[in-house]
């Protein structure tokens, strides 16, 4: 088939939709669009027919029915008399919490290991290589089960901490107790408690939390103003004024004043009866999932960080040293700004993978979105199509939010070409 050049005043003919390259691409797009829509219509029609054959309809009314099951340590008030919708929200919050904590911990671990892999210490670098190869080449589900088994089989029961000469002692200066059921950590207490703000739907937030959030956000905005003024002074005079102590004071002094005013202190977990009380008891399912996600994703991030640093030419480092820059300023001002262009795009993929991999929480009975909406709710109501569709939409929304945030960060830190 060959193209037929169209004369300037040639009248339109139907054959031109196929043989004229000016219309051919449009014809192909229209045909593909019609085929895709036809396939979608066939799937929807077939689904409706099958549901009718099973005596089912398609609605989300089950979300407002009584759930009838409990969720351990919910982040918002919840009991078995609440609706399936509230249970799904609890699961979603658990997914968000484990994803945020996993991304933070995996980023720190992966960055440290990635830099360590470039160490001149042969043994240290090889140990990091063993860690990376071991964790990224074994399925995540196995790591979750291994960590959970270690926590439940090796650690003692809470009773081992009883008595004047207990079998086990709390770690981290006597603040954390590891047991085969949970990890007891200190909670935060207030001597001068300002009370709670009712947000509706039985969700309460302490006024002290709001005060800290306002102070931190305000401090961050003031810090940006100070940095912009310092940059303007540098552009005008060639010398940058010292601002680190101003920024440090802006970010810490107001928070310290709030800590003093509210009487912020830690409440130590104490063994009373058969369990610890006073602090927070993190269930082993949550701890195992968090550790496994961190160790598994950290191995991938380490390779991303190492590749990003190696992508920067050694000549850049040598030139910075020749100008008298110290190694830490060379890393912050020369290497990292260029390496981030390589690091951030694949790092975004790892954050997305970690969020989606958190759905493996059901293996250790951690009630995330998969365990609530896609587990107990689905089994109780028999609304598998609606529940799965909702989960897909929620995970899609979470992934798009993460991508949007990382793309904005990437646009902010990328090198500006003149």
pLDDT tens-place string over residues 272-321: 888 888 888 899 999 999 999 999 999 999 999 999 988 888 888 888 88
Mean per-residue pLDDT, 362-373: 91
Helix (H/G/I), strand (E/B), else coil: 161? helix
Is the confidence at residue 417, as pLDDT, over 70? Answer: no
Give residue-wise pLDDT tens across range 262-281: 998 888 888 888 888 888 88
Going by pLDDT thresholds of 50, 70 and 90, the confidence category of residue 416 is low
pLDDT tier for residue 19 given thresholds of 50, 70 and 90: confident
Residue of higher predicted confidence among 7 and 365: 365
Residue 90, phi-psi category: left (phi > 0), alpha (psi -120 to 50), beta (remainder): alpha
Q: Of the candidates 234, 211, 214, which has an alpha carbon nearest to the alpha carbon of residue 222?
A: 214
User: In 186-263, where do the E strands start and end?
Assistant: 187-190, 196-198, 204-206
Tell me 263's DSSP state: T
What letter would DSSP give residue 138?
Answer: S
pLDDT for the residue numbered 272: 84
- 3-class state of residue 186 by DSSP: coil
The span from the CA of 256 to the CA of 251, in Å, is 9
Q: What is the CA radius of gyration of the chain?
A: 28
Please report the pLDDT score of residue 13 as a whole number.
81
Residue 386 has pLDDT above 70, yes or no: yes
Question: What is the predicted pLDDT for the residue at 291?
Answer: 95
Give the CA distances from residue 60 to residues 71, 94, 150, 383, in Å, rounded to whole numbers and listed in that order. Answer: 22, 22, 41, 8
Of the pLDDT bands very low, low, confident and very high (cuts 50, 70, 90), residue 402 is: very high
| Residue written as token pair 């912020």 | 264
Counting Cα atoms < 13 Å in the Cβ hemisphere of 302 gives 27
| DSSP per position, 162-180 | -SSS-SS--BTTTTBEE-S
Which H/E stretch holds residue 408?
A: helix 384-413
Alpha helices in 4-20 (DSSP H): 16-19
Query: Are 90 and 372 spatial neighbours (Cβ–Cβ below 8 Å)?
Result: yes
Question: What pTM does this model have?
Answer: 0.84
What pLDDT shows up at residue 137? 93
The rounded distance, in Å, linking the Cα atoms of 240 and 229 is 10
Q: Read off the pLDDT of residues 209-255 as tens digits, 9 standing for 90 and up.
A: 999 999 999 999 998 899 888 888 888 888 888 888 888 898 899 99
Instruction: Tell me what the mean pLDDT of segment 121-125 comes to.
Output: 89
Lowest mean pLDDT among 80-94, 138-152, 183-197: 183-197
Query: Residue 187: beta bridge partners?
Result: 267
* CA gap 45, 40 in Å, rounded: 9
Contact 316, 222 (CB under 8 A): no
State the maximum Cα–Cα separation within the chain, in Å, rounded to a whole number.
102
Answer for the pair 279, 172: CB distance below 8 angstroms, yes or no. no
So what's the pLDDT on residue 5?
A: 56
Q: What is the mean pLDDT of the chain?
A: 88
Confidence of residue 389 (pLDDT cuts 50, 70, 90): very high
Q: Kindly state the tokens that stand for 319.
A: 């030139």
8 A C-beta contact, residue 92 and residue 74:
no
Tens of pLDDT, residue by residue over 38-93, are 999 999 899 889 888 888 888 889 999 999 999 988 889 999 999 999 999 999 99
Distance in angstroms (rounded) separating the CA atoms of residues 202 and 30: 52
Q: For the chain, how many residues are written?
A: 418
Q: Please, are residues 259 and 192 in contact by the beta-carbon 8 Å criterion?
A: no
Q: Phi-psi region for residue 367, left (φ > 0), alpha (ψ -120 to 50) or beta?
A: beta
Per-residue pLDDT at 253: 92
* Residue among 97, 150, 184 nearest 361 (CA): 97
Strands 182-185 and 280-283: antiparallel
Neighbouring-strand partners of residue 43: none
Residue 198 φ/ψ region, left for φ over 0, alpha for ψ in the -120 to 50 degree band, beta for the rest: beta
pLDDT of 6 above 60:
no
Q: How far apart are CA 290 and CA 349, in angstroms?
A: 18
The single residue listed with the structure tokens 């006024």 is: 207
pLDDT score, position 173? 84
pLDDT in tens, 109-118: 999 999 888 8
pLDDT value at residue 9: 63
């Amino acid at each position: 088939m060959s193209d037929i050049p169209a004369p300037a005043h040639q009248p339109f003919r139907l054959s031109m939709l196929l043989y004229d390259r000016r219309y051919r691409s449009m014809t192909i797009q229209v045909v593909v669009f019609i085929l895709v829509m036809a396939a979608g219509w066939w799937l929807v029609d077939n689904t409706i027919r099958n549901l009718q054959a099973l005596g089912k309809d398609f609605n989300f009314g089950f979300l407002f029915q009584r759930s009838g099951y409990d969720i351990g340590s919910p982040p918002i008030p919840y009991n078995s008399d609440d609706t399936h919708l509230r249970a799904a929200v609890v699961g979603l919050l658990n997914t968000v919490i484990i994803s945020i904590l996993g991304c933070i911990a995996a980023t720190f671990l992966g960055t440290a290991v990635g830099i360590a892999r470039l160490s001149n210490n042969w043994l240290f670098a090889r140990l990091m290589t063993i860690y990376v190869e071991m964790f990224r080449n074994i399925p995540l589900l196995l790591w979750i089960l291994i960590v959970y088994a270690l926590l439940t089989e090796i650690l003692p029961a809470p009773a081992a901490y009883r008595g004047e000469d207990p079998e086990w002692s709390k770690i981290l200066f006597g603040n954390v107790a590891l047991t085969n059921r949970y990890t007891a950590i200190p909670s935060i207490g207030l001597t001068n408690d300002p009370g709670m703000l009712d947000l509706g739907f039985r969700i309460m937030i302490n006024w002290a939390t709001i005060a800290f959030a306002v102070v931190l956000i305000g401090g961050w905005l003031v810090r940006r103003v100070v940095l912009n003024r310092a940059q303007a002074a540098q552009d005008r005079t060639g010398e940058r004024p010292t601002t680190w102590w101003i920024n440090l004071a802006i970010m810490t002094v107001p928070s310290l004043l709030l800590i003093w005013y509210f009487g912020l202190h830690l409440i130590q977990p104490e063994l009373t009866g058969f369990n610890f009380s006073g602090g927070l008891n993190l269930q082993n399912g949550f701890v195992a999932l968090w550790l496994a996600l961190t160790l598994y994703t950290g191995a991938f991030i380490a390779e991303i960080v190492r590749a990003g640093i190696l992508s920067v030419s050694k000549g850049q480092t040598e030139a910075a040293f020749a100008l008298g820059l110290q190694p830490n300023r060379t890393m912050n001002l020369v290497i990292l700004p260029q390496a981030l262009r390589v690091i951030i795009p694949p790092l975004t993929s790892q954050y997305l993978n970690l969020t989606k991999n958190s759905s493996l929480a059901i293996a250790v009975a951690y009630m995330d979105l998969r365990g609530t909406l896609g587990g107990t709710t689905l089994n109780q109501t028999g609304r598998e199509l609606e529940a799965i569709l909702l989960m897909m939409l929620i995970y899609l929304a979470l992934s798009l939010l993460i991508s949007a945030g990382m793309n904005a960060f990437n646009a902010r830190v990328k090198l500006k070409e003149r």
